[in-house]
Each structure stands twice: as structure tokens, then as C-alpha cells.
A and B are shown apart, each in its own frame.
Chain A
Amino acid sequence: MSNLVFKTPASRAELISCLAAADPATYVLGGGTDLIIRMRDRGISDGTLIDITGVPGLDGIRLDGEFLRIGANVTYSNICESALVRGTAPCLAEMAQQIGSTQIRNMARLPGNLANASPAGDSIATLMALDARLCILNGRGEASIRKVDGLVTGIGKTTLQRDEVITEVLIPRPGPHQRSRYGKIGMGARSQVVIANISMTMVLDLPPEGRIRGARIVVGSAAPMAYHAAGAEALLEGRIPDPQLAGELAEVMRAQVEASIKGIAMFQHKLNDVQGLARDLCAGLFQEM
């Protein structure tokens, strides 16, 4: 007989009272594509599930003066089909298109990927590159905003507290000259080791004077946590995009990944992978320029 309690808050107020009662065995349920596997792997048969999909106001994608706002109940399928996302944050649509399989994309959502903090969590790196923030609600009814950068503190670890839930993902409204691309080398719908052998997201500004500004490059699945390729970001600053720069970037990316895989033999292939990704992303981005 089950000792699991399944809560279905139907309003923000009900969600807050569910969060207020949260204990270490409380799990927030969105799409469930990660949680259900975890429940079975760990034999979780008691505790509380809070299914947030019935909470109104969390299923929209909209653009205001400050942010592209993506509600917690928006699925990856919704994201890749959204003209607003494609127009505002192309790399996010590209990432969503390549995550899991159609069946997974129809259920899974961004907040779960963030909260589970898997080293292979495809969306974490892309949201870091977009300088995304999260709207977080707690059990006292307080809403706060936290950067995705810094949210993940280790494998499966985040700064999220027991009584907190991500209600919205906020992506700063891009300036007129922002461009972005995402690429990954990897396959398989969901197995942790292969979900992305490596991913790279590049966001940059190219003002009319023709020099790259404020590049943000984040690598996923090449270390326990996604990280900024700081050397590569510095390389691009003030440079004019051309094929030679793409080659230089590929070399710097290789060196960054070489440092992050710490000599582990089975990850050596990621060095070539990231060089290829760097060239692909540059080819796409520089062509547009």
C-alpha cells in the first residue's frame, strides 16, 4: 500500500500552502520525465508529490519590456514551436528541438532540468549563456529572482530550498544586435551518459561597427557542471568575425574542454567534438553577420 500523497494545487495560494508543508520527502512534479525514473530507481514510495501542472498562469510564453517569460508548465515542444522563442532566443529553440525525443519534449519542461541539475542537463548551459533568471516562489508566498548562473552547485545539487519552486524562466530581452546558436554532439533520448556528449551555446552581440561584444559561451556535459569557457569569451571580445577567428575559437575551446575533462580517457573524444561544434556555431553565426 502506498504512502505517497499526491497534491494537485489549483491556485497559487494552494501551491504556496503545499510548499509551506514541504519536508525532505516532498517532490515537485512537472512533466515527470526525470522524477518518475528517480522514484523507481530509489524505490520512493512515501512522501509527497506536488503536481504543479494545474496551477494557472504558468503555461504561457510572453515577451515584455524586460524579459522573455516562459512559465513552468511550458513544455519543450511548446518552446520549439514558439515563433516568439525562435525570434527572441534562437539558441533556446535549437536546444529544445534536440532534447530527448518527441515523447519527452511533449512532457518535459525547463524547471525540472534545472532542479535535477544533471551534468547532462541540456538546458542549463543554454540558459546560462542567455543570462537567464528564475522566478522562484517559496512556502511563505514570497517571490524572488535568481540567476541560473550559480543555481547548480554540484551533481544533482542546487541552491533551491525545500519549500521553493521555479515558477518562471526569464530571459533578458535581447538587444538589437544579439545573435545566438546552440549545438550538441550526442544521441539517445534520455540516457544520462549519452543525452549530450557535449553541448556548446554561444550568445554574442555584433553591433554595426562589426566587432563582437559581450560573447557568452557555455559548455554542457564536459564537466560535473556546465561552465563558461572564459578564455573563449575573452578571445572573441572586440574581434571581427571571420573564418580565421573560427579556427582560433576551435583551438581555445579544445583547450578549455581538455582542462575540464581532467584527463579522463573516455571523454577524450569531446576535444574533437567541441572543435567541430565551435566551427559549426561560428559558421552559422558569422554567416548571418
Chain B
Amino acid sequence: MLLEFVVNGVARALEIDPETRLIDVLRDHLDLTGTKEGCGEGECGACTVIMDGVAVNACLVLGLQARGRRIVTIEGLSVDGKLDPLQQAFINEGAIQCGYCSPGMLMSAKALLLKTPHPSEPEIRLAIAGNLCRCTGYTKIVQAVQAVAREGGYQS
């Protein structure tokens, strides 16, 4: 079946099987391998992408459910080779250890900041509650999101 949607600002049209999940479309069809698959059942959040402005698990969305929608993946965060302020903050604060959760974590944090530019710490923790970091680096991650929120210079 034909899937037409917009990924990281680029209109895409491709033929997929109905059971193909969004994560498979992104990774296997579009070669956007920054989005990771962890548990495959919505528990870990490693596959988080932004669909029409909100965070979703790409492993729990069929590709065809994304028809006509706008998807942003980790590859879509940087602009003209310049990292998104949130990505830079993760580096500055040491909010990355093994890195497997980082793309999903960044997309959940990005979705939060799009909606709530100056979130409280509980709001940050709630927004990333569906993202597991097995290196348990949550403190630095929360600090990184706070750093961006504090600067208030967050531009999407």
C-alpha cells in the first residue's frame, strides 16, 4: 500500500506492507537508523519519534498510521549541520553514556519543550518516564533538559 508522509521536512512516498511498523519504515526503507528498537513493545522508549508534534513509540505505530502526518526523527533535529540546542546540552552536561537511549530520550524531551518551553523538573521527569536509560543516567539527562529550558532560547 502507498504511504505518503513527511519525514524531517521531506515528502516521502513509498510502497509498504500494512503490517510494517513505522520504525521499520524509518530504519529499513528510509535508512534513518538513528531511531533505535529496544523492547519492541512500548516499554523502553528507544524508538521514540515525534508525530504531528507529539512523542510516539515508532514500534507501536504502523507505517500506514503515519499517512499524511509529519514525522521528526533524531536525524531531523540538527539544522545545516548544527546540533539542536538540546543535543548540545546533552553533550555539555554529560547526559550520554552508552547512547542507546539517547535518540528516544532526545525526542521525548524535544516534544516536551515544543509544548512547554519552561518545564518544571517533575514535568521533565514525567515526559521521559517512558524512556528507559539502563546506564541510569537520568540525573544528567534531566539537567540537560533544564539547561535548555533555563536558557529559554529554545528554537524548534
Do the two shown chains form a genuine complex with each other?
yes
- Taking Cβ atoms with an 8 Å cutoff, the residues of A that contact B are 1-2, 4-6, 8, 29, 32-33, 36-37, 39-40, 44-45, 49, 51, 53, 77, 100-104, 106-107, 188-191
B114 CB, min distance to chain A CBs, angstroms: 12
Which residue of B18, B55, B64, B130 is within 8 Å of A189 (Cβ)?
B130
> A106 and B18 in contact (CB under 8 A), knowing A36-B62, A37-B42?
no
Contact indicator B60/A36 (Cβ below 8 Å): yes
Encoded as 1 (CB less than 8 Å from any A CB) or 0, chain B from 47 to 76 comes to 010010011110111101101000000000
> A32 and B43 in contact (CB under 8 A), knowing A6-B18, A102-B55, A103-B56?
no
Q: Does B19 contact A (CB under 8 A)?
A: yes
In the complex, residue of chain B having the shortest beta-carbon distance to the beta carbon of A7:
B18
Q: Give the bracket for the number of chain B residues in contact with chain A.
A: 20 to 34
Which residue of B41, B56, B127 is within 8 Å of A107 (Cβ)?
B56
> A102 and B43 in contact (CB under 8 A), knowing A6-B64, A53-B65?
no
B55 CB, min distance to chain A CBs, angstroms: 5
In the complex, residue of chain A having the shortest beta-carbon distance to the beta carbon of B59:
A36
Q: Does B121 contact A (CB under 8 A)?
A: no
Which residue of A32, A44, A103 is within 8 Å of B108 (Cβ)?
A103
Q: Does B126 contact A (CB under 8 A)?
A: yes
Encoded as 1 (CB less than 8 Å from any A CB) or 0, chain B from 20 to 42 comes to 01000000000000000000111
A276 CB, min distance to chain B CBs, angstroms: 21
Q: Does B129 contact A (CB under 8 A)?
A: yes
A188 CB, min distance to chain B CBs, angstroms: 7
Interchain residue pairs A-B with the least CB separation, the first 3: A101-B130, A2-B17, A6-B18
A74 CB, min distance to chain B CBs, angstroms: 14
Contact indicator A102/B126 (Cβ below 8 Å): yes
A200 CB, min distance to chain B CBs, angstroms: 22
> A103 and B45 in contact (CB under 8 A), knowing A32-B60, A36-B61?
yes
